[in-house]
Structure 1
Amino acid sequence: MKRIVILGGGYSSVWCYRAIRRWMGASARITVVAPFREHVFHGFTGEVLEGGLKPEMLVSPLDEVIPRAERVQGWATAVDPDRRTVTVEWQGETRVVSYDELVVATGAQDRIDHLPGLAEHGWSLRSPGRVEALLEHLDWIDRQVPEDAEDARRATTIVVVGAGFAGTEVAAALGRRYGDARRIVLISGSRTVVPVWQDKRSLQDRLQRNLRDAGVELLTETRVVAVDEHGVELGDGSRIEAATVVSSLGSTVPVIPGLERFQEPDGLLAVDECLRVTDGVWSAGDVAAVRRRGDRVPKEALWAIRAGTTVGRNIARRSRRAEARRFGFRGLGTVAAFAPGRAVAMLWGIPLPQLVGWLVRGAFFLWYMPSRRTALSIVRWTLGRRLPVAVPVVTGPIPRPNLVGLAGGRSRAAALRDQAAPDRVAAEQPRRAAGA
């Protein structure tokens, strides 16, 4: 019986496990090493931040998605490719796991240590529990009503640093969550948002129009040099005072001792066209330098899923003494969602209408969710909403049922906004009193 060890519990790991189970059956003993007990699906993070989906709806227990694998909870702290062993540590205890075939799919971590103050004062979303922590922070801010106008301005400002797909969706989701009760600032270091589409003018126009409709303030060609408890410092010496700073600055990969000689300069594991690192070691997902026609493939869920499947099939083929096959996935497209019925998407290089892009995105995410139970709960939630029948124009915020109301039905978020602009509020009071 082949002893197969998979490091990580993300997309590549789950689909690698499924491919091995399908093609090898009981002839493989699969061990999955991961520090967390759940698989987190990040595709609907925007819907969670908006206030619709609950965070637990994106979580699938590993025992459910890899039911016949032996699970070892812990961090892989060393790999010995010669002896074919992995050292695992958890809560002060050390365990050595032997393997015949090893799959390194440990994924990536949020890149937060290169910007002073970001780790201490910023919020990241990739690791399990981080979305919930951000939501708790936002709810805490909602409950505060500072007396000082400057404190109120800071409390009502959210800065999102990084304008790739994730940062753009996060900023739009926060804009939908709060409407004009918050100032949402999206900072991009380049001249555009979503740099991979920087030469697609029509897509850039759609992206920026959707951000404006969500109430997002966009700053391009702007560099953040430091983060502190009061906000961010920009490269030109100016500041944005903000109580909440969300990081979407990309990712970095953890280094596992024993595999250093196989790493490329940026830390990713070098793999051949079959996704093999060395004899008996394979890699897929964000930790692997997967290439197609000489270029690195995107760090996206579908690429990780297909790479994990390829590794699983190749391990099965090698067990039958057949040749491993190269990774041949060509990609499908990319999408950024902004509201129900509104998404900017390209499929096989063809721009899609916004409603079609939104529907394709939803169908794809639901199809690839590892838990059918979790996917069904999201379908129920979606059907419970008022679905669009045409491409809608969203002109206001989606209501937040959990905001604590104040006198006159106003939320604390609105009260914070009004305290941040006392002159405007004073001017509006006569109109409010007159019922205008």
Structure 2
Amino acid sequence: MNLPFKTISIFGLGYIGLPTAAVFASRKVKVIGVDVNQHAVDTINRGQIHIVEPDLDMVVHAAVSEGYLRATTKAEPADAFLIAVPTPFKDGPTGPHHPDMDYIESASKSVAAVLKAGDLVILESTSPVGATEQMAAWLAEVRPDLTFPQTHGEASDIRIAHCPERVLPGQVLRELVQNDRVIGGMTPKCSAAATRLYKTFVQGECVITNARTAEMCKLTENSFRDVNIAFANELSIICDKLDINVWELIKLANRHPRVNILQPGPGVGGHCIAVDPWFIVSKTPELVNLIRAAREVNDAKPHWVLEKVKLVVAEYLLANPTKSASDVTVACFGLAFKPDIDDLRDSPALEIAYQIAISHPGPVLTIEPHISLLPNVFKSTKTELVEYEKAAHRADVLVLLVDHKQFKQLPLTPSTSQRIVDTRGAWVA
């Protein structure tokens, strides 16, 4: 098979970069993975993985064993470079949710040092509009001996594009292959080169646009979802005030042929939906009203849940006057940002459990079947990580934060004295 690219280098071997590297390697393309985390590099080079994603361990093991994938902490020459590093927040002109481009800048300058004429550089990191152009500027700054699309257009030595990922944790390997990809090249030739690269494994359609539109597309997709989740979350707060079962209400409303209300929860977490809308806000703060309001509704939901737990504990104490708050055991079911994964990034469930742990005077239990150790944030607390059955038996107040399949399948028969706070509608809907 004639491959358009013999060697691919992927910067960032996390939840997106490593599966992408593994899928390329499974197509018999040599892949060099680059990451600043030495533990991740060593783990991958042993044919193992440092994250949880179904079937990824087998694909990585095969790719490493067959010599198609290896990891390193240093940039090496390749024919195509994919940058899939984090884009967190920092304080900036628009407040605490200003995009932090430091990881992209560092990766760009590392790539620049090993570039040669004819190479392709793709930014996969979710980024504010204009990030691909900024990356191109950093590359040109380090390599004045090469030409780039922003100055030489189609005749440039280097091709540059933005291609955002749009995969679901827990289904990454399948969706990387089957989903359509948006290809945003800085020139038509850049888009064509990126399309050739992704067609190594992508079965979906590669839809070509420009870099800025591709950047905005990813932000728009997740902002759309965030707005819809905010509607459901606000509805749940209203229904709680009016003594209405929100889960029943949504089921009834969704029987309308043109209504599809999402399910409320304890907030919004993860590395996409809770982050991407702020990137739009950062670029046009004076124009963003609805998107900002939705973010504020979803960011405030964990605080509402905490107040709800305090209220339920108080109700429990009223019903049990011989007990004090230090006698009340609270169990938090789930820490991940969504069901059936181990990813705790920006998880509202984790934040709620932590706040309960530092504020509640009694025992606090956590149940998260996808991890074996509590995160370091709980070190200064007396929180225990326990099994489902133990928590369901010991707790006085049961707080469901994540509707893991295990939690929904195991029968819950609370005693008459136990209280439940179900933020996902899995137990009380």
Could you say whether these structures have the same fold, taking a TM-score greater than 0.5 normalized by the shorter chain as the test?
no
Higher relative CO (Cα under 8 Å, sequence separation at least 6) belongs to 1
**TM-score normalised by structure 2 residue count:** 0.31
- Higher strand fraction (1 or 2): 1
**TM-score normalised by structure 1 residue count:** 0.30
